[in-house]
Chain A
Protein backbone atom coordinates (compact mmCIF):
# COMPACT_ATOMS: atom_id res chain seq x y z
CA UNK A 1 0.00 0.00 0.00
CA UNK A 2 1.25 3.52 -0.80
CA UNK A 3 1.77 6.21 1.78
CA UNK A 4 -1.48 8.07 1.00
CA UNK A 5 -3.92 5.19 1.52
CA UNK A 6 -1.88 4.06 4.50
CA UNK A 7 -2.32 7.48 6.09
CA UNK A 8 -6.04 7.42 5.25
CA UNK A 9 -6.41 4.07 6.99
CA UNK A 10 -4.52 5.39 10.02
CA UNK A 11 -6.73 8.49 10.07
CA UNK A 12 -9.92 6.39 9.87
CA UNK A 13 -8.74 4.20 12.75
CA UNK A 14 -7.86 7.35 14.66
CA UNK A 15 -11.31 8.77 14.01
CA UNK A 16 -12.95 5.69 15.56
CA UNK A 17 -10.69 6.04 18.60
CA UNK A 18 -11.56 9.74 18.81
CA UNK A 19 -15.29 9.05 18.66
CA UNK A 20 -15.20 6.61 21.56
CA UNK A 21 -12.73 8.73 23.47
CA UNK A 22 -14.85 11.87 23.11
CA UNK A 23 -17.83 10.12 24.71
CA UNK A 24 -15.78 8.66 27.55
CA UNK A 25 -13.93 11.91 28.23
CA UNK A 26 -17.17 13.87 28.06
CA UNK A 27 -18.48 11.79 30.96
CA UNK A 28 -15.35 12.51 32.99
CA UNK A 29 -15.42 16.18 32.06
CA UNK A 30 -19.10 16.55 32.97
CA UNK A 31 -18.52 15.05 36.41
CA UNK A 32 -15.48 17.23 36.97
CA UNK A 33 -17.17 20.34 35.62
CA UNK A 34 -20.35 20.16 37.66
CA UNK A 35 -19.22 18.33 40.80
CA UNK A 36 -15.57 19.45 40.92
CA UNK A 37 -14.40 15.92 41.66
CA UNK A 38 -12.03 13.62 39.76
CA UNK A 39 -13.56 10.19 39.20
CA UNK A 40 -10.67 7.72 39.02
CA UNK A 41 -13.16 4.84 38.68
CA UNK A 42 -14.40 6.25 35.34
CA UNK A 43 -12.41 3.68 33.34
CA UNK A 44 -14.03 0.90 35.36
CA UNK A 45 -17.51 2.13 34.43
CA UNK A 46 -16.31 1.87 30.83
CA UNK A 47 -15.10 -1.69 31.44
CA UNK A 48 -18.33 -2.58 33.24
CA UNK A 49 -20.31 -1.39 30.23
CA UNK A 50 -18.30 -3.64 27.90
CA UNK A 51 -18.52 -6.68 30.17
CA UNK A 52 -22.28 -6.24 30.65
CA UNK A 53 -22.66 -5.84 26.88
CA UNK A 54 -21.02 -9.23 26.43
CA UNK A 55 -23.22 -10.79 29.10
CA UNK A 56 -26.43 -9.35 27.64
CA UNK A 57 -25.64 -10.14 24.00
CA UNK A 58 -24.71 -13.74 24.78
CA UNK A 59 -27.86 -14.19 26.90
CA UNK A 60 -30.08 -13.16 23.97
CA UNK A 61 -30.24 -15.55 21.04
CA UNK A 62 -31.20 -14.70 17.48
CA UNK A 63 -29.74 -12.13 15.14
CA UNK A 64 -26.65 -10.39 16.64
CA UNK A 65 -28.29 -6.99 16.09
CA UNK A 66 -31.04 -7.80 18.63
CA UNK A 67 -28.51 -8.67 21.34
CA UNK A 68 -26.44 -5.60 20.50
CA UNK A 69 -29.37 -3.19 20.68
CA UNK A 70 -30.47 -4.75 23.96
CA UNK A 71 -26.93 -4.30 25.30
CA UNK A 72 -26.82 -0.70 24.10
CA UNK A 73 -29.96 0.04 26.14
CA UNK A 74 -29.56 -2.14 29.23
CA UNK A 75 -25.81 -1.99 29.94
CA UNK A 76 -25.61 1.83 30.31
CA UNK A 77 -28.69 1.80 32.53
CA UNK A 78 -27.15 -0.80 34.84
CA UNK A 79 -23.84 1.10 34.94
CA UNK A 80 -25.76 4.28 35.69
CA UNK A 81 -27.46 2.52 38.59
CA UNK A 82 -24.10 1.36 39.98
CA UNK A 83 -22.72 4.89 39.71
CA UNK A 84 -25.84 6.32 41.35
CA UNK A 85 -25.45 3.94 44.29
CA UNK A 86 -21.74 4.74 44.60
CA UNK A 87 -22.53 8.44 44.67
CA UNK A 88 -25.31 7.99 47.18
CA UNK A 89 -23.45 5.62 49.53
CA UNK A 90 -19.95 7.12 49.41
CA UNK A 91 -19.32 10.41 47.62
CA UNK A 92 -22.26 12.27 49.20
CA UNK A 93 -21.05 11.34 52.67
CA UNK A 94 -17.62 12.75 51.86
CA UNK A 95 -19.26 16.08 51.08
CA UNK A 96 -17.48 16.00 47.68
CA UNK A 97 -14.13 16.88 49.22
CA UNK A 98 -11.82 16.67 46.16
CA UNK A 99 -9.01 14.69 47.82
CA UNK A 100 -11.18 12.25 49.79
CA UNK A 101 -13.25 11.52 46.68
CA UNK A 102 -10.12 10.63 44.71
CA UNK A 103 -9.12 8.13 47.39
CA UNK A 104 -12.66 6.75 47.51
CA UNK A 105 -12.91 6.38 43.72
CA UNK A 106 -9.54 4.60 43.70
CA UNK A 107 -11.18 2.19 46.13
CA UNK A 108 -14.14 1.77 43.75
CA UNK A 109 -11.71 1.13 40.88
CA UNK A 110 -10.16 -1.80 42.74
CA UNK A 111 -13.52 -3.18 43.85
CA UNK A 112 -15.13 -3.10 40.38
CA UNK A 113 -12.00 -4.48 38.71
CA UNK A 114 -11.69 -7.35 41.16
CA UNK A 115 -15.39 -8.22 40.97
CA UNK A 116 -15.15 -8.30 37.17
CA UNK A 117 -12.15 -10.62 37.41
CA UNK A 118 -13.98 -12.89 39.85
CA UNK A 119 -17.28 -13.12 37.98
CA UNK A 120 -16.26 -12.54 34.37
CA UNK A 121 -12.79 -14.05 34.40
CA UNK A 122 -9.45 -13.07 32.88
CA UNK A 123 -10.38 -13.91 29.25
CA UNK A 124 -11.01 -11.33 26.54
CA UNK A 125 -14.34 -12.06 24.88
CA UNK A 126 -15.75 -10.64 21.65
CA UNK A 127 -19.25 -9.33 20.95
CA UNK A 128 -20.60 -9.81 17.44
CA UNK A 129 -21.20 -6.54 15.57
CA UNK A 130 -24.88 -5.88 14.69
CA UNK A 131 -24.05 -5.84 10.97
CA UNK A 132 -20.96 -6.65 8.93
CA UNK A 133 -21.19 -4.41 5.88
CA UNK A 134 -17.87 -3.45 4.29
CA UNK A 135 -17.51 -0.16 2.51
CA UNK A 136 -15.26 -0.60 -0.54
CA UNK A 137 -12.81 2.22 -1.08
CA UNK A 138 -10.54 2.24 -4.15
CA UNK A 139 -7.55 1.02 -2.06
CA UNK A 140 -9.05 -1.13 0.69
CA UNK A 141 -12.35 -2.19 2.20
CA UNK A 142 -13.36 -0.61 5.49
CA UNK A 143 -15.78 -1.82 8.16
CA UNK A 144 -19.10 -0.03 7.91
CA UNK A 145 -19.71 -0.70 11.59
CA UNK A 146 -16.66 1.37 12.55
CA UNK A 147 -17.96 4.34 10.60
CA UNK A 148 -21.40 3.96 12.21
CA UNK A 149 -19.67 4.17 15.62
CA UNK A 150 -18.30 7.56 14.59
CA UNK A 151 -21.77 8.67 13.50
CA UNK A 152 -23.44 7.41 16.69
CA UNK A 153 -20.87 9.18 18.83
CA UNK A 154 -21.33 12.43 16.91
CA UNK A 155 -25.11 12.25 17.38
CA UNK A 156 -24.74 11.62 21.13
CA UNK A 157 -22.32 14.52 21.48
CA UNK A 158 -24.74 16.86 19.73
CA UNK A 159 -27.60 15.65 21.93
CA UNK A 160 -25.53 16.26 25.07
CA UNK A 161 -24.63 19.72 23.84
CA UNK A 162 -28.29 20.52 23.10
CA UNK A 163 -29.38 19.27 26.52
CA UNK A 164 -26.71 21.36 28.23
CA UNK A 165 -27.39 24.59 26.35
CA UNK A 166 -31.05 24.48 25.31
CA UNK A 167 -33.04 22.76 28.07
CA UNK A 168 -34.09 23.51 31.61
CA UNK A 169 -32.11 20.53 32.92
CA UNK A 170 -28.98 21.89 31.25
CA UNK A 171 -29.63 25.32 32.77
CA UNK A 172 -29.92 23.79 36.23
CA UNK A 173 -26.70 21.84 35.69
CA UNK A 174 -24.82 24.92 34.52
CA UNK A 175 -26.16 26.94 37.44
CA UNK A 176 -24.92 24.27 39.85
CA UNK A 177 -21.56 24.23 38.12
CA UNK A 178 -21.27 28.02 38.26
CA UNK A 179 -22.08 28.48 41.92
CA UNK A 180 -23.32 25.61 44.04
CA UNK A 181 -24.46 27.64 47.02
CA UNK A 182 -26.39 30.27 45.10
CA UNK A 183 -28.06 27.53 43.07
CA UNK A 184 -29.14 25.87 46.30
CA UNK A 185 -30.44 29.17 47.61
CA UNK A 186 -32.63 29.42 44.49
CA UNK A 187 -34.20 26.06 45.27
CA UNK A 188 -32.17 23.83 42.96
CA UNK A 189 -31.89 20.34 44.48
CA UNK A 190 -28.07 20.29 44.25
CA UNK A 191 -27.70 16.79 45.67
CA UNK A 192 -30.08 15.32 43.12
CA UNK A 193 -28.27 17.16 40.33
CA UNK A 194 -24.96 15.72 41.54
CA UNK A 195 -26.32 12.18 41.70
CA UNK A 196 -27.78 12.56 38.21
CA UNK A 197 -24.60 14.00 36.73
CA UNK A 198 -22.45 11.25 38.24
CA UNK A 199 -24.78 8.57 36.83
CA UNK A 200 -24.94 10.22 33.39
CA UNK A 201 -21.15 10.56 33.30
CA UNK A 202 -20.78 6.84 33.97
CA UNK A 203 -23.48 6.03 31.39
CA UNK A 204 -21.64 7.96 28.69
CA UNK A 205 -18.55 5.83 29.38
CA UNK A 206 -20.70 2.69 29.27
CA UNK A 207 -22.28 3.65 25.92
CA UNK A 208 -18.81 4.28 24.49
CA UNK A 209 -17.75 0.84 25.71
CA UNK A 210 -20.77 -0.92 24.19
CA UNK A 211 -20.04 0.78 20.87
CA UNK A 212 -16.37 -0.26 20.88
CA UNK A 213 -16.78 -3.81 22.16
CA UNK A 214 -17.58 -5.38 18.74
CA UNK A 215 -14.27 -3.91 17.49
CA UNK A 216 -12.04 -4.63 20.49
CA UNK A 217 -12.94 -7.33 22.98
CA UNK A 218 -14.30 -7.09 26.53
CA UNK A 219 -11.62 -7.60 29.17
CA UNK A 220 -11.48 -6.83 32.88
CA UNK A 221 -8.42 -4.55 32.53
CA UNK A 222 -9.73 -2.63 29.51
CA UNK A 223 -10.63 0.40 31.64
CA UNK A 224 -7.05 1.54 32.21
CA UNK A 225 -6.24 3.02 28.82
CA UNK A 226 -9.54 4.91 28.42
CA UNK A 227 -9.05 6.38 31.90
CA UNK A 228 -5.59 7.68 31.11
CA UNK A 229 -6.60 8.92 27.66
CA UNK A 230 -9.71 10.61 29.10
CA UNK A 231 -7.55 12.40 31.65
CA UNK A 232 -5.29 13.51 28.83
CA UNK A 233 -8.24 14.75 26.77
CA UNK A 234 -9.87 16.54 29.68
CA UNK A 235 -6.61 18.22 30.68
CA UNK A 236 -5.67 19.28 27.16
CA UNK A 237 -9.21 20.43 26.44
CA UNK A 238 -9.49 22.36 29.68
CA UNK A 239 -11.17 20.89 32.76
CA UNK A 240 -14.94 21.16 32.46
CA UNK A 241 -15.09 22.62 28.94
CA UNK A 242 -17.30 20.62 26.56
CA UNK A 243 -16.03 22.06 23.30
CA UNK A 244 -12.40 21.71 24.38
CA UNK A 245 -13.05 18.08 25.33
CA UNK A 246 -14.37 17.19 21.87
CA UNK A 247 -11.60 19.05 20.03
CA UNK A 248 -8.95 17.44 22.22
CA UNK A 249 -10.49 13.98 21.76
CA UNK A 250 -10.31 14.28 17.97
CA UNK A 251 -6.75 15.61 18.22
CA UNK A 252 -5.57 12.85 20.59
CA UNK A 253 -7.47 10.08 18.81
CA UNK A 254 -6.14 11.02 15.37
CA UNK A 255 -2.56 11.51 16.52
CA UNK A 256 -2.72 8.28 18.53
CA UNK A 257 -3.94 6.36 15.48
CA UNK A 258 -1.37 7.90 13.15
CA UNK A 259 1.60 7.92 15.55
CA UNK A 260 1.15 4.34 16.72
CA UNK A 261 0.91 3.14 13.11
CA UNK A 262 4.36 4.57 12.33
CA UNK A 263 6.17 4.49 15.69
CA UNK A 264 6.50 2.20 18.72
CA UNK A 265 3.28 2.42 20.78
CA UNK A 266 5.21 2.62 24.06
CA UNK A 267 7.29 5.55 22.82
CA UNK A 268 4.11 7.27 21.58
CA UNK A 269 2.53 6.81 25.01
CA UNK A 270 5.63 8.15 26.78
CA UNK A 271 5.69 11.30 24.66
CA UNK A 272 1.94 11.86 24.95
CA UNK A 273 1.92 11.43 28.73
CA UNK A 274 4.93 13.70 29.17
CA UNK A 275 3.41 16.40 26.97
CA UNK A 276 0.19 16.27 28.95
CA UNK A 277 1.99 16.43 32.28
CA UNK A 278 3.82 19.51 31.01
CA UNK A 279 0.55 21.10 29.83
CA UNK A 280 -0.89 20.46 33.29
CA UNK A 281 2.14 22.06 34.92
CA UNK A 282 2.57 25.09 32.69
CA UNK A 283 -0.99 25.67 31.45
CA UNK A 284 -3.36 24.15 34.03
CA UNK A 285 -6.44 25.67 32.38
CA UNK A 286 -5.77 23.52 29.30
CA UNK A 287 -4.88 24.55 25.78
CA UNK A 288 -8.41 25.65 24.94
CA UNK A 289 -9.77 26.58 28.35
CA UNK A 290 -9.85 30.02 29.90
CA UNK A 291 -8.26 30.86 33.22
CA UNK A 292 -10.52 30.00 36.19
CA UNK A 293 -12.51 32.79 37.75
Chain B
Protein backbone atom coordinates (compact mmCIF):
# COMPACT_ATOMS: atom_id res chain seq x y z
CA UNK B 1 0.00 0.00 0.00
CA UNK B 2 2.80 2.44 0.82
CA UNK B 3 3.72 4.29 -2.33
CA UNK B 4 5.87 7.17 -3.40
CA UNK B 5 3.05 9.34 -4.66
CA UNK B 6 1.17 11.03 -1.82
CA UNK B 7 1.25 14.23 -3.89
CA UNK B 8 -0.51 12.47 -6.77
CA UNK B 9 -3.29 11.25 -4.48
CA UNK B 10 -3.83 14.66 -2.87
CA UNK B 11 -3.76 16.35 -6.29
CA UNK B 12 -6.48 13.99 -7.56
CA UNK B 13 -8.73 14.66 -4.58
CA UNK B 14 -8.27 18.42 -4.78
CA UNK B 15 -9.05 18.23 -8.48
CA UNK B 16 -12.30 16.36 -7.72
CA UNK B 17 -13.29 19.02 -5.17
CA UNK B 18 -12.41 21.78 -7.66
CA UNK B 19 -14.48 20.07 -10.35
CA UNK B 20 -17.47 19.91 -8.00
CA UNK B 21 -16.94 23.61 -7.21
CA UNK B 22 -17.04 24.53 -10.89
CA UNK B 23 -20.10 22.35 -11.48
CA UNK B 24 -22.11 24.68 -9.22
CA UNK B 25 -21.93 27.39 -11.89
CA UNK B 26 -22.45 25.04 -14.83
CA UNK B 27 -25.24 22.71 -13.74
CA UNK B 28 -28.88 23.55 -14.44
CA UNK B 29 -31.00 24.31 -11.34
CA UNK B 30 -32.51 20.85 -10.98
CA UNK B 31 -29.16 19.06 -11.15
CA UNK B 32 -27.54 21.59 -8.85
CA UNK B 33 -30.06 20.61 -6.16
CA UNK B 34 -29.56 16.92 -6.88
CA UNK B 35 -25.78 17.27 -6.59
CA UNK B 36 -26.08 19.01 -3.22
CA UNK B 37 -28.15 16.08 -1.99
CA UNK B 38 -25.70 13.56 -3.47
CA UNK B 39 -22.71 15.23 -1.80
CA UNK B 40 -24.44 15.25 1.60
CA UNK B 41 -25.32 11.57 1.20
CA UNK B 42 -21.86 10.70 -0.15
CA UNK B 43 -20.57 11.77 3.27
CA UNK B 44 -22.88 9.12 4.74
CA UNK B 45 -21.36 6.57 2.36
CA UNK B 46 -17.82 7.69 3.27
CA UNK B 47 -18.60 7.19 6.94
CA UNK B 48 -19.95 3.73 6.19
CA UNK B 49 -16.89 2.95 4.09
CA UNK B 50 -14.58 3.76 7.02
CA UNK B 51 -15.96 0.78 8.88
CA UNK B 52 -16.97 -1.56 6.06
CA UNK B 53 -14.15 -0.90 3.61
CA UNK B 54 -11.17 -0.41 5.91
CA UNK B 55 -12.02 -2.50 9.00
CA UNK B 56 -14.11 -5.05 7.13
CA UNK B 57 -17.02 -4.79 9.60
CA UNK B 58 -20.31 -5.04 7.72
CA UNK B 59 -22.98 -3.14 9.67
CA UNK B 60 -26.64 -3.35 8.74
CA UNK B 61 -27.61 -0.56 11.14
CA UNK B 62 -25.89 2.62 10.01
CA UNK B 63 -29.24 4.33 9.48
CA UNK B 64 -29.28 4.88 13.25
CA UNK B 65 -26.09 6.97 13.13
CA UNK B 66 -27.33 8.97 10.15
CA UNK B 67 -30.67 9.60 11.85
CA UNK B 68 -29.00 10.34 15.20
CA UNK B 69 -27.34 13.25 13.39
CA UNK B 70 -30.55 14.09 11.55
CA UNK B 71 -32.65 14.23 14.72
CA UNK B 72 -29.84 15.59 16.91
CA UNK B 73 -29.65 18.63 14.63
CA UNK B 74 -33.31 18.79 13.60
CA UNK B 75 -34.87 18.50 17.05
CA UNK B 76 -32.56 21.01 18.72
CA UNK B 77 -33.46 23.55 16.03
CA UNK B 78 -37.15 22.70 16.08
CA UNK B 79 -37.79 22.44 19.82
CA UNK B 80 -34.97 24.41 21.42
CA UNK B 81 -34.51 27.05 18.75
CA UNK B 82 -30.75 26.45 18.50
CA UNK B 83 -28.69 28.08 15.77
CA UNK B 84 -27.39 26.11 12.81
CA UNK B 85 -23.75 25.62 13.97
CA UNK B 86 -24.75 24.51 17.48
CA UNK B 87 -27.36 22.15 16.04
CA UNK B 88 -24.81 20.64 13.66
CA UNK B 89 -22.39 20.00 16.52
CA UNK B 90 -25.23 18.54 18.59
CA UNK B 91 -26.07 16.16 15.73
CA UNK B 92 -22.50 14.96 15.34
CA UNK B 93 -22.14 14.55 19.11
CA UNK B 94 -25.33 12.47 19.27
CA UNK B 95 -24.03 10.20 16.52
CA UNK B 96 -20.60 9.80 18.12
CA UNK B 97 -22.11 9.02 21.52
CA UNK B 98 -24.54 6.50 20.06
CA UNK B 99 -21.69 4.92 18.09
CA UNK B 100 -19.65 4.61 21.28
CA UNK B 101 -22.45 2.76 23.07
CA UNK B 102 -23.33 0.56 20.10
CA UNK B 103 -19.65 -0.10 19.43
CA UNK B 104 -19.04 -1.24 23.01
CA UNK B 105 -21.94 -3.68 22.71
CA UNK B 106 -21.82 -4.86 19.10
CA UNK B 107 -18.04 -5.31 18.91
CA UNK B 108 -18.34 -8.20 21.34
CA UNK B 109 -19.60 -10.09 18.29
CA UNK B 110 -18.25 -10.46 14.78
CA UNK B 111 -19.31 -11.64 11.34
CA UNK B 112 -22.98 -12.54 10.93
CA UNK B 113 -23.83 -11.80 14.58
CA UNK B 114 -22.42 -8.28 14.15
CA UNK B 115 -24.59 -7.72 11.08
CA UNK B 116 -27.79 -8.95 12.74
CA UNK B 117 -26.95 -7.21 16.01
CA UNK B 118 -26.45 -3.79 14.43
CA UNK B 119 -29.64 -4.31 12.44
CA UNK B 120 -31.56 -5.02 15.66
CA UNK B 121 -30.16 -1.96 17.45
CA UNK B 122 -31.10 0.18 14.46
CA UNK B 123 -34.59 -1.30 14.55
CA UNK B 124 -34.89 -0.33 18.23
CA UNK B 125 -33.78 3.20 17.35
CA UNK B 126 -36.34 3.36 14.53
CA UNK B 127 -39.15 2.13 16.78
CA UNK B 128 -38.15 4.63 19.48
CA UNK B 129 -38.55 7.44 16.96
CA UNK B 130 -42.06 6.17 16.20
CA UNK B 131 -42.84 5.69 19.89
CA UNK B 132 -41.88 9.27 20.79
CA UNK B 133 -43.91 10.66 17.91
CA UNK B 134 -45.01 13.60 20.08
CA UNK B 135 -41.48 15.03 19.82
CA UNK B 136 -40.14 13.48 16.62
CA UNK B 137 -43.24 13.77 14.44
CA UNK B 138 -43.23 9.99 13.93
CA UNK B 139 -43.51 8.83 10.34
CA UNK B 140 -44.93 12.20 9.29
CA UNK B 141 -41.66 13.86 10.26
CA UNK B 142 -41.03 17.54 10.95
CA UNK B 143 -40.36 20.40 8.59
CA UNK B 144 -37.73 22.90 9.75
CA UNK B 145 -38.78 26.40 8.79
CA UNK B 146 -36.61 28.51 6.52
CA UNK B 147 -36.25 31.23 9.21
CA UNK B 148 -34.36 28.87 11.53
CA UNK B 149 -31.97 27.75 8.79
CA UNK B 150 -30.04 31.01 8.45
CA UNK B 151 -26.44 31.32 9.61
CA UNK B 152 -24.95 34.73 10.41
CA UNK B 153 -21.28 34.89 9.48
CA UNK B 154 -19.55 38.18 10.27
CA UNK B 155 -22.65 40.30 9.73
CA UNK B 156 -23.80 38.46 6.57
CA UNK B 157 -26.83 36.23 6.78
CA UNK B 158 -26.33 32.97 4.87
CA UNK B 159 -29.65 31.38 3.95
CA UNK B 160 -29.21 27.60 3.70
CA UNK B 161 -32.32 27.37 1.52
CA UNK B 162 -30.59 29.37 -1.22
CA UNK B 163 -29.42 26.85 -3.88
CA UNK B 164 -25.87 28.14 -4.16
CA UNK B 165 -25.36 28.44 -0.39
CA UNK B 166 -26.77 24.96 0.01
CA UNK B 167 -24.53 23.55 -2.71
CA UNK B 168 -21.43 25.19 -1.26
CA UNK B 169 -22.24 24.05 2.28
CA UNK B 170 -22.67 20.46 1.10
CA UNK B 171 -19.44 20.73 -0.90
CA UNK B 172 -17.56 22.14 2.09
CA UNK B 173 -18.65 19.26 4.30
CA UNK B 174 -17.89 16.76 1.55
CA UNK B 175 -14.41 18.21 0.91
CA UNK B 176 -13.50 18.29 4.60
CA UNK B 177 -14.63 14.71 5.18
CA UNK B 178 -12.92 13.54 1.97
CA UNK B 179 -9.58 15.03 2.93
CA UNK B 180 -9.87 13.79 6.52
CA UNK B 181 -10.62 10.30 5.21
CA UNK B 182 -7.65 10.46 2.87
CA UNK B 183 -5.33 11.57 5.68
CA UNK B 184 -6.82 9.01 8.04
CA UNK B 185 -6.38 6.00 5.77
CA UNK B 186 -2.80 7.01 5.01
CA UNK B 187 -2.05 7.42 8.72
CA UNK B 188 -0.77 4.83 11.16
CA UNK B 189 -4.32 4.36 12.48
CA UNK B 190 -5.63 3.62 8.98
CA UNK B 191 -2.96 1.03 8.38
CA UNK B 192 -3.77 -0.72 11.64
CA UNK B 193 -7.42 -0.85 10.58
CA UNK B 194 -6.51 -2.48 7.27
CA UNK B 195 -4.28 -4.93 9.15
CA UNK B 196 -7.27 -5.85 11.35
CA UNK B 197 -9.38 -6.42 8.24
CA UNK B 198 -6.76 -8.67 6.70
CA UNK B 199 -5.98 -10.70 9.82
CA UNK B 200 -7.17 -9.68 13.25
CA UNK B 201 -5.32 -12.40 15.18
CA UNK B 202 -2.00 -11.53 13.58
CA UNK B 203 -2.50 -7.83 14.29
CA UNK B 204 -3.24 -8.64 17.91
CA UNK B 205 -0.08 -10.73 18.15
CA UNK B 206 1.95 -7.87 16.75
CA UNK B 207 0.95 -5.95 19.86
CA UNK B 208 -1.89 -3.75 18.64
CA UNK B 209 -4.99 -3.26 20.76
CA UNK B 210 -7.44 -4.34 18.07
CA UNK B 211 -10.50 -3.80 20.29
CA UNK B 212 -9.67 -0.15 20.97
CA UNK B 213 -8.84 0.47 17.31
CA UNK B 214 -12.11 -1.08 16.16
CA UNK B 215 -14.07 0.95 18.69
CA UNK B 216 -12.34 4.13 17.50
CA UNK B 217 -13.28 3.21 13.93
CA UNK B 218 -16.94 2.67 14.88
CA UNK B 219 -17.06 6.04 16.64
CA UNK B 220 -15.36 7.82 13.73
CA UNK B 221 -17.71 6.14 11.28
CA UNK B 222 -20.75 6.99 13.39
CA UNK B 223 -19.66 10.63 13.75
CA UNK B 224 -19.15 11.05 10.00
CA UNK B 225 -22.54 9.47 9.24
CA UNK B 226 -24.14 11.72 11.86
CA UNK B 227 -22.48 14.76 10.26
CA UNK B 228 -24.12 13.74 7.01
CA UNK B 229 -27.49 13.38 8.74
CA UNK B 230 -27.16 16.71 10.55
CA UNK B 231 -26.23 18.46 7.31
CA UNK B 232 -29.15 16.79 5.56
CA UNK B 233 -31.61 18.03 8.18
CA UNK B 234 -30.26 21.59 8.10
CA UNK B 235 -29.82 21.86 4.34
CA UNK B 236 -33.07 20.24 3.24
CA UNK B 237 -35.21 21.14 6.24
CA UNK B 238 -36.91 17.83 6.84
CA UNK B 239 -36.47 15.08 9.42
CA UNK B 240 -38.52 11.87 9.24
CA UNK B 241 -38.48 8.32 10.54
CA UNK B 242 -38.02 6.85 7.05
CA UNK B 243 -34.35 7.91 7.28
CA UNK B 244 -33.97 5.51 10.21
CA UNK B 245 -35.55 2.51 8.46
CA UNK B 246 -33.63 -0.58 7.36
CA UNK B 247 -33.57 0.75 3.81
CA UNK B 248 -31.26 3.59 4.84
CA UNK B 249 -28.89 1.04 6.37
CA UNK B 250 -28.79 -0.88 3.09
CA UNK B 251 -28.32 2.14 0.81
CA UNK B 252 -24.83 3.17 2.03
CA UNK B 253 -23.77 -0.47 1.69
CA UNK B 254 -25.00 -0.43 -1.90
CA UNK B 255 -23.29 2.89 -2.68
CA UNK B 256 -19.97 1.73 -1.21
CA UNK B 257 -20.11 -1.67 -2.93
CA UNK B 258 -20.87 0.02 -6.23
CA UNK B 259 -18.16 2.67 -6.02
CA UNK B 260 -15.60 0.37 -4.48
CA UNK B 261 -15.06 -0.50 -0.82
CA UNK B 262 -11.85 0.82 0.74
CA UNK B 263 -11.40 3.51 -1.89
CA UNK B 264 -11.67 7.15 -0.84
CA UNK B 265 -13.59 8.33 -3.91
CA UNK B 266 -15.69 5.18 -4.35
CA UNK B 267 -18.53 6.33 -2.05
CA UNK B 268 -19.03 9.49 -4.15
CA UNK B 269 -19.07 7.55 -7.40
CA UNK B 270 -21.48 4.95 -5.99
CA UNK B 271 -23.87 7.55 -4.59
CA UNK B 272 -23.76 9.65 -7.75
CA UNK B 273 -24.40 6.68 -10.01
CA UNK B 274 -27.20 5.14 -7.94
CA UNK B 275 -28.91 8.50 -7.47
CA UNK B 276 -28.95 9.22 -11.17
CA UNK B 277 -30.04 5.69 -12.10
CA UNK B 278 -32.94 6.02 -9.65
CA UNK B 279 -33.74 9.51 -10.87
CA UNK B 280 -33.77 8.58 -14.54
CA UNK B 281 -35.65 5.29 -14.14
CA UNK B 282 -38.27 6.82 -11.85
CA UNK B 283 -39.40 8.66 -14.98
CA UNK B 284 -40.49 5.30 -16.49
CA UNK B 285 -41.33 3.15 -13.49
CA UNK B 286 -41.96 3.43 -9.77
CA UNK B 287 -40.14 0.16 -9.26
CA UNK B 288 -36.85 1.68 -8.14
CA UNK B 289 -36.42 -0.93 -5.40
CA UNK B 290 -36.29 -3.54 -8.14
CA UNK B 291 -33.26 -1.76 -9.58
CA UNK B 292 -31.63 -1.60 -6.14
CA UNK B 293 -32.20 -5.34 -5.75
CA UNK B 294 -30.85 -6.28 -9.16
CA UNK B 295 -27.86 -3.93 -8.67
CA UNK B 296 -26.99 -5.55 -5.33
CA UNK B 297 -27.05 -9.06 -6.78
CA UNK B 298 -25.11 -8.18 -9.94
CA UNK B 299 -22.50 -6.29 -7.93
CA UNK B 300 -21.90 -9.03 -5.44
CA UNK B 301 -21.79 -11.63 -8.24
CA UNK B 302 -19.64 -9.92 -10.82
CA UNK B 303 -17.99 -6.80 -9.35
CA UNK B 304 -17.33 -7.49 -5.67
CA UNK B 305 -14.64 -4.80 -5.77
CA UNK B 306 -16.83 -2.06 -7.26
CA UNK B 307 -15.96 0.50 -9.93
CA UNK B 308 -12.88 2.10 -8.36
CA UNK B 309 -11.74 -1.14 -6.78
CA UNK B 310 -11.60 -2.78 -10.22
CA UNK B 311 -9.84 0.24 -11.74
CA UNK B 312 -7.27 0.20 -8.96
CA UNK B 313 -6.66 -3.50 -9.45
CA UNK B 314 -6.24 -3.28 -13.22
CA UNK B 315 -4.59 0.06 -13.94
CA UNK B 316 -4.07 2.55 -11.14
CA UNK B 317 -2.40 0.81 -8.25
CA UNK B 318 -1.65 4.12 -6.49
CA UNK B 319 -5.30 5.06 -6.07
CA UNK B 320 -6.02 5.54 -2.36
Contacts and interface: CB of A to CB of B under 8 A. Distances in A.
Contact of B296 (A98, A110, A115): A110
Interface string A156-200: 000000000000000000000000000000000000000000000
B108 A281 contact: yes
Interface in B106-141: 106, 108-109, 111-113, 115-117, 120-121, 123-124, 127-128, 130-131
A90 B121 CA distance: 29
Given A103-B253, A266-B131, A276 B120 contact: yes
Contacts of A266: 127, 130-131
A104 B109 contact: no
A217 interface: no
Interface string A278-293: 1011101000000000
B117 A280 contact: yes
What's the interface size class on A, roughly?
35 or more
Interface string A102-118: 11101111110111011
B257 interface: yes
Given A103-B257, A266-B131, A277 B300 contact: no
Given A117-B287, A264-B131, A280-B109, 7 more contacts: A102-B60, A113-B289, A118-B287, A231-B116, A277-B105, A277-B117, A281-B106
15 contacts: A98-B111, A99-B112, A102-B115, A106-B250, A107-B293, A107-B295, A228-B123, A231-B116, A266-B127, A267-B131, A270-B131, A273-B124, A274-B124, A280-B117, A281-B117
Interface centre among B58, B60, B112, B289 (most CB of A within 10 A): B112
Most buried by A among B115, B127, B294: B127
Contacts of B250: 106
A98 B301 CA distance: 13
Contacts of B117: 277, 280-281
A6 interface: no
A216 interface: no
A110 B290 CA distance: 6
A94 B117 CA distance: 23
A108 B109 contact: no
Contact of B121 (A103, A269, A277): A277
B304 interface: yes
B184 interface: no
A271 to B, nearest CB: 9
Nearest to A277: B120
B297 interface: yes
Q: Is the interface of A mostly helix, strand, loop or mixed?
A: helix
B45 to A, nearest CB: 15
A90 B131 CA distance: 39
A269 B131 CA distance: 10
Contacts of A109: 293
Contacts, number: 100
A277 B106 CA distance: 9
A100 interface: yes
B292 interface: yes
Interface residues of B, number: 36
B128 to A, nearest CB: 6
Interface of A: 38, 90, 93-94, 98-100, 102-104, 106-111, 113-115, 117-118, 228, 231, 235, 264, 266-267, 269-270, 273-274, 276-278, 280-282, 284
A146 B7 CA distance: 71
Given A270-B124, A281-B105, A110 B131 contact: no
Interchain residue pairs A-B with the least CB separation, the first 7: A110-B293, A107-B296, A111-B293, A277-B120, A107-B297, A114-B290, A107-B293
B117 to A, nearest CB: 5
Nearest to B249: A106
A44 to B, nearest CB: 10
Nearest to A109: B293
Nearest to B287: A114
Interface in B272-320: 287, 289-290, 292-297, 299-301, 304
B297 A90 contact: yes
Contacts of B130: 266
B131 A102 contact: no
Nearest to A37: B112
B108 to A, nearest CB: 5
A111 B290 contact: yes
B293 A108 contact: yes
